[in-house]
Homo-oligomer: A and B are copies of this chain.
Amino acid sequence: MDFSLTPRVLALREELSDFVEHHVIPAEATFRAQALEGGQPPVMEELKAEARRRGLTNLFLPAPLDVAPDLCGPGLSNVEYASLAEVMGRSRLAPEACNCNAPDTGNMEVLAHFGTPEQQEQWLVPLLRGEIRSGFAMTEPDVASSDATNIQLRIDTDGDEYVLNGRKWWTTGAMHGTCRILIVMGRTDPDGDPHRRQSMVLVPMDTPGVELVRGLPVFGYHDPGGHGEIRFTDVRVPRSNILAEEGDGFRIGQARLGPGRVHHCMRAIGAAERALELLCARAKDRHVFGSALAERANVQDWIAQSRIEIDMARLLVLHTAWLIDTVGSREARAQIAAIKVAAADVACRVVDRAIQIHGGAGVSDDFPLASMYAHLRTLRLADGPDEVHRRTVAQFELRRTGRPAA
């Protein structure tokens, strides 16, 4: 057993940390101010340029892609990239700056694995360049989408075309000003085997019938690049826009899952680390009843508990990343379910403690804590609520345990 980081990860981590602390975090206030004026805040382009200059873009890719090898990073394993995703999680701006933000990473991986050369040339290359953004239209407002067999959007065949009708929401990235392409999950074969009914097709945002109904706030936050609700009315795309084969929707969704889950979780842990630093700084700074908050035993308990929980959650995610690298996502299904429950829970708790220490300042926007909480709380729902993942973990456990000897 060896918990040390490889030299190349150590070097990248140092570079990335420097970028995040000295460029990204200082740009947050500017970003917020520009966002209030509407549109995509220009400061992001500056950050993207700096990240590119430092060789910090597209690091999530497990191997350079033939279609554009010069745009890709060195090809890191999941466990290697995980430590970098944590650093990116410190600021909500860092993932996009490094072209490593959801859902683009997952969409790029899907295009790399399942896309035709034409699809890759048209959509993957500009995504790798950070010129456009993309959306992943999966969740629907009218059903509990955590049970994938509930999906209702229809993809009917009409000659050489697919015709889409239905409604999606929580389509992350759809509100982004440069979002050009959606991967849409829908039903091509309503009566087929429950796991072969769905397909994924590419739908350009400017296709007639694609209507961006509204942006969805998260606890009052309307982010540029946030979640959208989209109505599809007789949306027609050529059948060549299918990803892999008809009926492969569920399979692609599963393949997409593992690494993306690791990224989400490590970013949550990075956010928690920053929250803990803020907590400690404030606790040293503020005094009540004759002593600094940091000297009070209840605050010390919170700090210790936060440190312990963060370290445990990080190790769980890293171990899962290592399993994906060594035995594959399929064998690590239970662990991939487990980490989202653990990481989101821990991160919410740590940030909540940091808010409490900050008093009124904690719920305002003078600190990133309230926004962190809103998004981390949402992580407990996005991509399946905790309960669905706990159910998966329990089913594996129940299958695994035979008759104990007691």
Contacts and interface: CB of A to CB of B under 8 A. Distances in A.
B388 A288 contact: yes
A390 B305 contact: yes
Interface in A154-171: 169-170
Interface string A4-28: 1110000000000000011001101
A280 interface: yes
B218 A276 contact: no
B297 A404 contact: no
B286 A144 contact: yes
Interface in A181-206: none
B318 A1 contact: yes
30 contacts: A1-B79, A1-B318, A2-B2, A3-B319, A21-B405, A25-B406, A217-B370, A218-B363, A219-B219, A219-B220, A219-B221, A219-B363, A219-B370, A220-B371, A276-B397, A277-B401, A280-B401, A281-B403, A297-B299, A300-B395, A303-B393, A303-B394, A304-B391, A305-B341, A312-B313, A355-B381, A360-B378, A360-B382, A367-B406, A368-B406
A384 B257 CA distance: 42
A274 B6 CA distance: 36
A222 B220 CA distance: 8
Nearest to A294: B398
A296 to B, nearest CB: 4
Contact of A397 (B80, B218, B303, B313): B303
Interface string A273-317: 010111011011011110001101111110111011001110110
Contacts of A316: 308, 311-312, 315
Number of copies: 4
Contacts of A300: 298, 390-391, 394-395, 398
A294 B25 CA distance: 42
A361 interface: yes
A401 B293 CA distance: 15
A304 B394 contact: yes
A129 interface: no
B403 A341 contact: no
Contacts of A342: 308, 312
A105 interface: no
A287 B403 CA distance: 17
